[in-house]
Structure 1
């Protein structure tokens, strides 16, 4: 059977993308190498993930947020976080996040400095378990008709006249389009000849679940040492950064070697009595120079890899999927030319590069040596100020991202505000169907003929917003990005070109 789109990888990015495509009417097959979605690395504490504002907006705009909220780690009715969960989450003073382990206080963040981030019921950040998030997305994907095949690895890919032939560890499959969401070691990326450029690792990160003879030998929280960093979350969760140039990555650890590693990095005579789980990672920062090659596209870690410091990777990948899904679906359905996919690269590649540099900056603060410790002390002082905390929150929470593209109006290229319309609905609710919207917010603006034309392909809502945004009309892409806007009392100049550019609609 030929599918419209085959996705390699059933992680959150692949699953979210599959939902976007299936909701738009595409036939979708998801291939996942792992035989089961269950993994101790996806459960707490190793599976802890932070979701930022754009990700939470995306989930809200697709009607998935309530299900994800029900799984969140920190909720009053759930009590304190489970043992071993990140140490900073259990602090008595609410924290907004951290940069290279340097925390900033939630109360120091001035959200009034983000004029385009309007009050909304959608939170700015949330902690979830990776396995719980994947379960929510998989349930939605299956309900939409997505076929998920687990225990099936992609071995080789090759283009043909009809699309992409895909050799797997099971039966061969065929797709008109192929998207690699198969992680940093992506087979799809390697098989398709993408260039993965960037910087090599400086350290190996080790995450361990252990039993200690005497946990009091180690200090809870993050400690920097002459060999790297030791982050201890009692009773037995450890994150170690060993500045070995990445030499220890994927090297199996037994109890003896794990204890030697812990003692060397921590500088303490800690004794491990049992080693239950261990995984490694590095701070290598690489990005595909292109996100598309013919009928093959990349998203998530397959397109960009970096250290997990600051928890930006998952959010970056969901942003890729939200941006790509409606565009690829429009191309598959014949509503748009292939050139629409060029905007995926143009819009998402700079964001990925920015996150990679954010990761590199944190590594610079973590390096052993007096220079890094002095620089970290300066950053800690800045993080304790209102300006510093607000800046860090802005970057970590993703609440003030630059415009994706230029336009004649300040809102163009930015996430549409979650206004509440006169009929009581929020903007996020209007985007649940995954389609574009043309909204006239001022009855004095005459857009009738164009709206009638667009409504045959895309839903159109005419209503009045509560508030003082001053908008007369707004065209919103399916991913919630403003494609065109005019002020109250303005005219519709530029609307036709925006309709054609993003939706292939000609008057």
Structure 2
């Protein structure tokens, strides 16, 4: 252990990993007045294709931070997607009266660019080419060993956060267990390619492959009796083609995936023989093969002054794209709580509530990602289960439940308030404030707790919340048909307290303020 006094600077937070989760956490901390240091072992940002978009409630979270429009590349709030997929079942979500599922097709490389630019604008230090090699922690902080461009060095920090992926060095060094299951099936193959001219499109945009009587819907998985195929035309010059095969012949994982191997897999799955060529768009031909999949969940998201976010805490099949929805909301949940701890106003147990709230959400993704893989496997037993599942999905209530599961809108934290909105992500609302009409998402751009009086300021909330005015912003707003008389909104977008229109509930409000934002001050 190096004595604390020998360090030139004691950092508040060091984040290992400059992927989307680490960068958003850095932004959240910076908005709360903390200046973290982000360490990334890679020397620079590599345009390797990983995630192809954002699925679920994370789109609304990013809208709350003013990040949705830059990622979308156009103005406007998130809108529900009319179609999606679950376990290779098409979900016609336009049939729902209230569709909770939002999607945004955007490449992970672009997500990282936007988040790193925002982080740097907020004063965050991002150090590429620095790898965590070890650490020790004590009651006051963590001493981190690094390997960087100029050799080995050490940093001292109050907290260390591992956002360093599924093979997380931080998690391993912290001794945090990572239980779960590993399967050798399926073998997945994926590449961005140019399809041959004999692949045609229907009036609805579905793909017609030569020799296949059944059309294939784009941006979804289609199951056959021999596997699964997905086709996603992200640009005119590059279509992502992916296959999944169970019980396939062994492959040499040291040999890179070729177009010929992918073509053979497509033929086995669909019967079609496609003469694939390399995509015309530079940099998009990123062939990848993966044998089997891991579904694992850290047994704790915190050990002392070391915490985990994103893939460092959970890995799972990518079916349905739940990864960034899960990981980025981890970051939003942790950011304000860790900042509160560092600022000294966090109530007892607030930082521990990060694991308590997010671990069960990881378990739900653990569950539904495994369920989807099981529903896509070949075989007559699976076909029979799919026939029954398809009947269930024909009922709007079941369709809505699956949509909420994929969106993450079924998450409800236990915040100790009985109102139907309490513990849930705040609904999309437009209200009139003294500055004019505004969406709730626009009010949340500061990432500060909000006490929103939807009666236009007629409730006596200022006096009730006076002891928290340094931490909680009071916003009077008129809403024509308010879902509540007032809302206490946490920085991560979840409702900590709500009251019916025409009521006040002073005891409930004070209790919620104290539970989430600490003691009142004179």
- What TM-score, normalized by structure 1, do the two folds share? 0.84
Q: Report the equivalent of 2:513.
A: 499
Report deviation, 1:377: 3.0
Q: 1:242 to 1:2 in 2, by over 3 A?
A: farther
Deviates most, 204-213 or 374-383: 204-213
Tell me the CA shift for residue 365 of structure 1. Answer: 0.9
1:438 shift after superposition: 2.0
Correspondence 1:70 to 2:64: no
With 245-254 and 277-286 compared, the bigger mean Cα shift is at 245-254
1:453 equivalent among 446, 464, 467: 467
Q: Aligned residue for 1:318?
A: 328
Decide which moves more: 304-313 or 462-471. Answer: 462-471
Distance apart, 1:384 and its partner CA: 4.4
CA distance in 2, matches of 1:436, 1:166: 32
Instruction: Tell whether 2:169 aligns with 1:187.
Output: yes
For residues 394 and 120 of structure 2, what CA distance do their matches in structure 1 show?
Answer: 46
- Which consecutive unaligned segments of at least 5 residues does structure 2 have? 1-8, 200-208, 279-284
**Counterpart for residue 49 of structure 1:** 53
- SS of the residue aligned with 2:349? helix
Q: What residue in structure 2 maps to residue 155 of structure 1?
A: 133
C-alpha separation in 2, matches of 1:236 and 1:34: 28
Unaligned runs of at least 5 residues, structure 1: 76-93, 118-122
Measured against aligned partners, the alpha-carbon deviations of 1:4-52 in whole angstroms (never above 9, x if no partner) come to 111111111111110000111112111112223232314xxxx411332
The alpha-carbon deviation at position 284 of structure 1 amounts to: 1.9
In the other structure, the counterpart of 1:204 is 187
Q: CA deviation at 1:497?
A: 2.1
Q: Output the CA distance in 2 between the equivalents of 1:162 and 1:263.
A: 56
Matching of residues 304-383 of structure 1 within 5 Å: 304-337=314-347, 339-383=349-393
Q: How many positions carry a matched residue from both structures? A: 472
Aligned match of 1:135: 113
Q: Distance in 1 between matches of 2:241 and 2:478?
A: 53
Q: CA deviation at 1:498?
A: 1.6
User: What secondary structure, in the 3-state scheme, does the structure 2 residue paired with 1:58 have?
Assistant: helix
Match of 1:336, SS?
coil
Whether contact under 8 Å (2:189, 2:243) holds in the other structure is yes
Shift in CA distance, 247/137, structure 1 to aligned 2, threshold 3 Å: farther
Alignment of 1:5-404 (within 5 A): 5-42=13-50, 47-52=51-56, 54-70=57-73, 95-111=82-98, 124-170=102-148, 171-201=153-183, 202-209=185-192, 221=216, 222=221, 224=223, 228-232=227-231, 237-244=240-247, 251-255=254-258, 258=261, 262=265, 265-266=268-269, 268=271, 270=273, 276-281=285-290, 282-337=292-347, 339-404=349-414
> Separation in 2 of the partners of 1:280 and 1:151?
27
- Once residues 157 and 398 of structure 1 are traced to their aligned partners in structure 2, the CA distance between those partners, rounded to angstroms, is 34
Q: Shift of residue 361 of structure 1?
A: 0.7
Moved more, 375-384 or 222-231: 222-231
Paired residue secondary structure (2:374): helix
Contact 2:449/2:471, CA 8 A, preserved across alignment: no
Cα deviations across residues 217-257 of structure 1 (Å, max 9, x unaligned)?
68574554555333355876431223359976954335498
- Within the alignment, does 1:475 sit opposite 2:488 as a pair? yes
Report if the CA contact (8 A) 2:263-2:275 is conserved: no
CA separation in 2, counterparts of 1:126 and 1:321? 19
Give distance in 2, aligned partners of 1:136 and 1:242. Answer: 35
Whether the 8 Å contact between 2:13 and 2:159 is mirrored in structure 1 is yes
Offset of residue 324 of structure 1: 0.7
1:408 aligns with 2:395: no
Distance 1:239 1:411 in 2: 40
Go from structure 1 to structure 2 and tell me whether the alpha carbon gap of 1:456 and 1:224 turns closer, same or farther (over 3 Å shift): closer
When structure 1 is superposed on structure 2, of 420-429 and 228-237 the one drifting more is: 228-237
Q: Deviations over 1:283-337 (max 9, x none)?
A: 3211011110001111111111100000111101111111111000111111215
Separation in 1, partners of 2:252, 2:490: 42
Match of 1:84 in 2: none
3-state secondary structure, aligned to 1:480: coil
Aligned residue number for residue 79 of structure 1: none
Distance change >3 Å, CA 245–CA 325, structure 1 → 2: farther
SS of 1:325 mapped into structure 2:
helix
**CA–CA separation in structure 2 for the residues paired with 1:149 and 1:343:** 30
Deviations 1:377-403 (A, max 9, x none): 333344344344333322223334334
Instruction: State how far apart, in whole Å, the 1-side matches of 2:48 and 2:333 are.
Output: 30
Question: Given that residues 158 and 165 in structure 1 are in contact (C-alpha distance below 8 angstroms), is that contact kept between their aligned partners in structure 2?
Answer: yes
**TM-score normalised by structure 2 residue count:** 0.81
